[in-house]
Amino acid sequence: MNTFAADELSAEVLLRCWVREARIPVPTGGPMRLAFPATGVTVEVDIDAWSAVGWHRFGPIYPLALPHANRRSGAPKNKGFGRPAGDEIEPDSAWTAESWLPPAAPPPLDAATLATLIAREAGGGVPAVADLVSRVVDSSRRIATHLSHGTSQGETRFLWAEKALVAGHPFHPAPKARQGWTDEEARTYSPELDGSFQLHWWSVAPTIAAHDSADADPAPALIAKLLGGELPRGATPNSILIPAHPWQSQQLRQRPEIRTLMEQGLLANLGPHGKPWHATSSLRTVYRPDARYMLKLPLAMHITNSKRENLYKELLRGVEVRRMLDAGLAKSIAAAHPGFGIVGDPAWIAAGTGAPGLDVILRENPFGPMDRVYCVAAFTDLGYGPSRNGHLRENLLADIIVGSAERTGSRPAEAVLDWFTRYMEAVILPILWLDSAHGIMLEAHHQNTLVVLDPNGLPEGGRYRDNQGYYFRESAVPHLADFAPRPGEDSDSVAADALVDERLTYYVGVNNLIGMIGALGATALVEERQLLRRAREVLARFAAGRQAAGRAHRVTEALLDRPTLPCKANLLTRVAGLDELVGPLETQSVYVQIPNPLAVP
């Protein structure tokens, strides 16, 4: 059952991506027909639920026309089923009624077949088609395993939510693809399967080690404190140590540059050591409830749109932003939005430029075991809720809101609107304000965003995490010099204002805000139009306040007024074979324009 559910879920996500990225109008009544001229196939699909924000739910996808489907040996070449007219029979054929019977109705398309049709239609050649199909199949297989596993367990609320992303991004064609992992490795390293593991440790010669820290202690000392005095075998108190993901260690040992450094005595693989760590929703950031820091580890695996090894500029970026926070930026944020904060990345250590893939970023772990903090992506994961095969899964977001309604005495629809308003005030508005007031953009998509809930289950705060996703407006650089010398210069964090407008509109407006409207609407507790109206009201108040302060905010005004909005096209990005961490920021992914559901028609 879970294999079928995972495949239908994967096919539905593919179709949802294609409808959005190809700007296909969705009919409000009756089935939808889609033609794929590149392959000569037309499909038909029932719309289970139409969404103004693109969170459509579809039924099974059936082919209506398959190329050469009406040809058999000795059968007529054209014109469908049944006995043909005499001039349509091939002269030398031995056709009989028994040899040309109407075929049975075709089964619904599986996710792999649909991926093939879409990739061909999007202009992909054989390598692009093969790549997309292999990722889709791998992702679907992983989702089936996650569904079979059931609800994950967590030692803290934070860890429990990190494990709750069963199906992943609702607008990505292969959100759970993990090509390169065996099933056994997946069981050990996957948060959805409650995996935990020891880290592998490397000793690095001081002559090649590189590190930086915005903390009072240097990075090697912070790493030593995490170990608590229990050193890996072969290490000494003076060793410079770097932890690595065990799967990454296997990859590193196969790299010629790493083997050379080991032969020269500059690197030593010390093997597994210490208490087990838990992978979070990103797979490569690991967590231990009793540790002061989380660890962001490189992982030479393509996850969603990128190979997830840390870039040097990202190491610098996290420490730079932490120093800016310490220099007064954190106080400014707290004064304007007391419930919002940035989870800092205050230190890093690497085995030098000659050993890429062997480094670690230290991320603050500010959450206690009883803190009600959740990764937002756990609320928007479509692996929850009812599936079409009748299997009912838990809906985390609905459960929280219904519980909040019971505790506060509200009707469910009112509780949803209250929850959503508080979410905007706790998460969305602080991020828009940070750009408006300081020219700092955060790539705050759902997986990078955390929400803090009060005892009634209502949002009371937000957090942002991810050293990759900081960008400084070019026009704001003189102002940001108050917080850091040469802001963004070494970390490659300065971006043109127009590009910041585009990316912030997508990440915070389309992905986060409109995505949350889709997730709340999918609970069936409230209509999307009510959520859209409430979002406009909150954004309009924020825009009016910024205008009154003389700091009009173009992104907020675009969300309110523009007929279309920029949207990252994850499906087309995959067909194009792009890696979002390679090349100029402007061309790392494909963007399209989609209708703006927030704008008044």
Q: How confident is the model at residue 30 (pLDDT cuts 50, 70, 90)?
A: confident
**306 strand-pairing partners:** 303
Mean pLDDT value of segment 547-559 = 94
Mean pLDDT value of segment 346-367 = 95
Report pLDDT for 600.
79
Q: Which amino acid is at 461?
A: G
If one compares 145 and 78, the residue with the highest pLDDT of the two is: 145
How many beta carbons lie within 10 A of that of residue 471, not counting itself? 24
Report pLDDT for 495.
97
Contacts (Cβ under 8 Å, ≥6 apart) of 204? 240, 241, 242, 266, 267, 351, 352, 358
- pLDDT 10s digits, 279-294: 999 999 999 999 999 9
Query: Is 90 exceeded by the pLDDT of residue 217?
Result: yes
Mean pLDDT value of segment 162-189 = 94
If one compares 72 and 178, the residue with the highest pLDDT of the two is: 178
Mean pLDDT value of segment 245-249 = 97
Please provide the average confidence, as pLDDT, over all residues in the chain. 90
Of the listed ranges 35-49, 62-76, 351-365, 533-547, the one predicted with least confidence:
62-76
Give CA torsion, residues 339, 319, 164, 460, to 10 deg. 0
Mean pLDDT value of segment 224-247 = 94
- pLDDT 10s digits, 390-448: 333 457 898 899 999 999 999 999 999 999 999 999 999 999 999 999 999 999 999 99
Q: How far apart are CA 485 and CA 478, in angstroms?
A: 10
Give CA torsion, residues 53, 447, 302, 522, to 10 deg. -30
Report pLDDT for 389.
43
Q: How far apart are CA 326 and CA 306, in angstroms?
A: 31
Dig out the tokens for 458 from the structure: 């209502």
Report pLDDT for 67.
53
Measured N-to-C along each axis, helices 528-548 and 412-423 cross at an angle, to the nearest 10 degrees, of: 30
- pLDDT 10s digits, 87-101: 333 444 444 445 555
State pTM to two decimals: 0.91
The DSSP result for 497-536, as a single string, is HHHHHHHHIIIIIIIIIIHHHHHHHHTTSS-HHHHHHHHH
Using the structure block, give the residue that is written with the tokens 């559910």. 5
If one compares 26 and 76, the residue with the highest pLDDT of the two is: 26
Dig out the tokens for 483 from the structure: 């917080």
